[in-house]
Each structure stands twice: as C-alpha cells, then as structure tokens.
Structure 1
Amino acid sequence: MMNPAQFVAQVRTEASKVVWPSRKEAGMTTLMVFVMAILVAIFFFLVDQLLSFAIDLLLTL
C-alpha cells in the first residue's frame, strides 16, 4: 500500500514531465478546431438540404 507522501511525490514527478503547448500553439489549435467545426457544420447542412430535396422530390411523384 502506498502512503500519501509517496503518491504526491510520484504525481509531482509525472507532472514535471508534461510538455505544455506555447500560447501561440494553443491559439492555433483552438482556431483550427473552430474552423473545422464550422466546415463540418456547413457540410452536414448541405447534405441535409440535398437529402431533404431528394425526399421531397420522391414523395411528390
């Protein structure tokens, strides 16, 4: 069984190994996430409109 002091020491050791992104890298990553989310939303909107049009066309025959 590990005592709390050993656990905290191991957590600190592991946390010191973490490499954090720079402010510029974090900003670029955030921007890319927003851009991709917008592009995916537009894509699915267009697919939805196309399928809706096709179903309306089939139902009016």
Structure 2
Amino acid sequence: MAKTNPGQFVRQVRQELAKVTWPSRKETGISTLMVFLMVFLAAIFFFVVDQVLAWGVQLIFGLGG
C-alpha cells in the first residue's frame, strides 16, 4: 500500500468531502421525526409483547400474582 504524505491526504479528504451531498434542513427534520416515531412504535410493540409473555408465564406456572 502506497504511503501518502499528510498534505496529500488532506487534499484527498477535501476532494471527497466536496462530493458529499448534505441533506437539507427539511430532510433532516423529517428523518429525525421518523426515527422518533419508529422508536416509539417499537417501544409500544415490545411492551405489548412483554405483557403477553408475562401473562402467559403467569398462566402456565401460576407465578407472581
């Protein structure tokens, strides 16, 4: 693997950084809201699954209540 000097490395990094397309403020906001929504839905889903499993274990083994 060829070694590059620090100056060449910095130039290459700047060239690659110029190719990046950054999301707009609106796209970032929408993505953030979607992440929060999916986290909320996943939390609700796993809470319901946990409650059903706890109920099933209690029913089968007669534990906790």
Give the SS at the match of 1:56. Answer: helix
Note the 1:1-61 alignment, pairs <5 A: 1-60=3-62
Letter aligned with residue 60 of structure 2: L
* Aligned Cα root-mean-square deviation (Å): 0.6
* Structure 1 residue 59, shift from structure 2 partner: 1.0
* TM-score computed with the length of structure 1 as normaliser: 0.95
Show structure 1 runs of 4+ deviating over 6 A.
Answer: none
* Structure 1 residue 57, shift from structure 2 partner: 0.5
Give the SS at the match of 1:16. Answer: helix
Cα distance in 1 between the residues matched to 2:56 and 2:36: 30
* Structure 1 residue 3, shift from structure 2 partner: 1.1
Identity %: 58
Q: Specify every segment of 5 or more residues in structure 1 that has no aligned partner in the other structure, as ranges.
A: none
Letter aligned with residue 17 of structure 1: K
Whose RCO is larger (CA < 8 A, sep 6+)?
2
